[in-house]
A and B are shown apart, each in its own frame.
Chain A
Amino acid sequence: MWQAIHEELAPEGLAVITVAIDRSLDDPRPYVDSAGATHPSLVDTEHRVADLYNLVNVPTVLWIDETGRIVRPQDVHYVSNELASITKFHNRKPLAALRAWVRGKAPAYPGDVAADTKVADDTHQEARAAFAVAWWLSQHGRDDAAERWFVRAGELAPHDFTIRRGSMPIRGIDAAGPAFFEMVGDWAAKGNAYYLPLPDTATTADDYEVEPIDEMSLEALRRKIDSER
């Protein structure tokens, strides 16, 4: 669905760049091809962009202006409402804000971008060092040692799901299975949110009244995911 936004807003000066934080170029390619994407569809296997921009989960959206300035801090939204009944994210306000920004009708963010930018502390960067060791070990067949370092990375940065969930496929763990649900449940039980959308375009009840969504069952979602593999 980013392809549709790309086609709509490219003539008005927008470049859509997607980045798949995945194990190899093979992982996102089927999805990108079936979406007919003509915008750059990048792959970040080494978690380089994750480190530079402190991306702790996906999806994450960043807006950058023509001069290379970040004009809206990390946000969470989906570009289509296909999964909205499951994700609880409605695209109405985020897409309206995106169009308004691109067309020069509104600023990208009502707040102070620098003040509201979340940065990593020393311990989090330690987690990234641990993840780099884990990744290298896993690429070289040293799975037991890799597993120890993936676990350590997750312990050092329990809020970093790019590390904790992103490492699951590498470790042979189903990232949509019981281990994932246990991890998220444990996180929520401690009073934490799994996603932190920016408040100005966060989903509210009126979104569903203005633009009703279709219900999608988890079973239908699984079928869709399998068909895209």
Chain B
Amino acid sequence: MTTWTVIDEQRVHTIDPSAPGDMLVLDPSLLGWERKPEGLCRDEVCVPVPTDVPTGPIDAALLARLLQRPLAIDNNEHVAAFAASAVERAATLRSGMAPDFELPDVHGVLHRLSDFRGKKVVLYAYASW
């Protein structure tokens, strides 16, 4: 059985699928989602899950719908990617607080935006293209 690569907001997981064939069926816990009475929970977020959804492995497309997150899935290459939900991204941006991030500089040294609290920041995005 071919392993799948599942990309979850820049985190890359290699997953042994729970079902034969080309469809991606996976246990949400592999992506950090635990089934609790409140639903599927990760960090401080819980999404409600209908009681008829089985615990354990579920179809990736169903998981994406439950999490309200877009899923791009290539059944030939066995690669899938979840993106952040539009609702989540919009809520963060409209809250006014600049989302934190950690990136390397050109010499590979990591920096976080939050390192610069206490200063005014100009963030300038550019590219070679």
A: residues with CB less than 8 A from B are 2, 5, 13-22, 25, 27-29, 31-33, 40-44, 46, 48-55, 58-70, 79, 98, 101-102, 113-114, 117, 119-122, 124-126, 128-130, 132-133, 136-137, 142, 145, 149, 152, 162, 165-166, 168-169, 175-176
**A80: min CB distance to chain B, Å:** 12
Q: Provide the main secondary structure of the chain A interface.
A: mixed
* Residue from B7, B103, B104, B107 with most neighbouring chain A CB atoms (10 Å): B103
Q: A15-B122, A69-B98, A165-B129 are in contact. Are A40 and B105 (CB under 8 A)?
A: yes
The 6 closest A-B pairs by CB, nearest first: A175-B129, A132-B81, A129-B83, A119-B90, A129-B72, A126-B70
- The answer to whether A18 and B126 touch across the interface, beta carbons within 8 angstroms, is yes
| Cα separation A165 to B80 with both chains bound (whole Å) | 23
| Those of B75-129 within 8 Å (CB) of chain A | 76-77, 79-86, 89-90, 92-101, 103-108, 111, 113-114, 116-129
- Complex interface: chain B residues within 8 A of A79 (CB): 124
- Selected from A16, A68, A133, A169, the residue in CB contact (under 8 A) with B128 is A169
- The answer to whether A114 and B94 touch across the interface, beta carbons within 8 angstroms, is yes
Give the A-B contact count at a CB cut-off of 8 A.
Answer: 225
- Complex interface: chain A residues within 8 A of B126 (CB): 18-21, 28, 58-59
User: A61-B125, A66-B119 provided; 8 other pairs, C-beta below 8 A?
Assistant: A29-B107, A40-B111, A49-B125, A52-B101, A114-B95, A132-B10, A133-B79, A168-B129
* Residue from B9, B77, B107, B124 with most neighbouring chain A CB atoms (10 Å): B124
| Cα separation A55 to B92 with both chains bound (whole Å) | 14
B: residues with CB less than 8 A from A are 5, 7, 9-10, 12, 69-74, 76-77, 79-86, 89-90, 92-101, 103-108, 111, 113-114, 116-129
- Selected from A21, A129, A149, the residue in CB contact (under 8 A) with B70 is A129
| Cα separation A17 to B117 with both chains bound (whole Å) | 13
- The answer to whether A64 and B103 touch across the interface, beta carbons within 8 angstroms, is no
Q: Which residue of B lies closest to A65 (CB)?
A: B120
- Selected from B7, B10, B96, B125, the residue in CB contact (under 8 A) with A55 is B125
- Complex interface: chain A residues within 8 A of B98 (CB): 53, 62, 64, 68-70
- The answer to whether B70 and A128 touch across the interface, beta carbons within 8 angstroms, is yes
- Selected from B70, B79, B81, B121, the residue in CB contact (under 8 A) with A63 is B121
- The answer to whether B105 and A113 touch across the interface, beta carbons within 8 angstroms, is no
- The answer to whether B106 and A32 touch across the interface, beta carbons within 8 angstroms, is yes
Q: A42-B103, A129-B70 are in contact. Are A20 and B83 (CB under 8 A)?
A: no
**B10: min CB distance to chain A, Å:** 5
| Cα separation A132 to B82 with both chains bound (whole Å) | 8
| Cα separation A44 to B104 with both chains bound (whole Å) | 8
* Residue from B70, B99, B104, B128 with most neighbouring chain A CB atoms (10 Å): B128
- The answer to whether A58 and B10 touch across the interface, beta carbons within 8 angstroms, is no
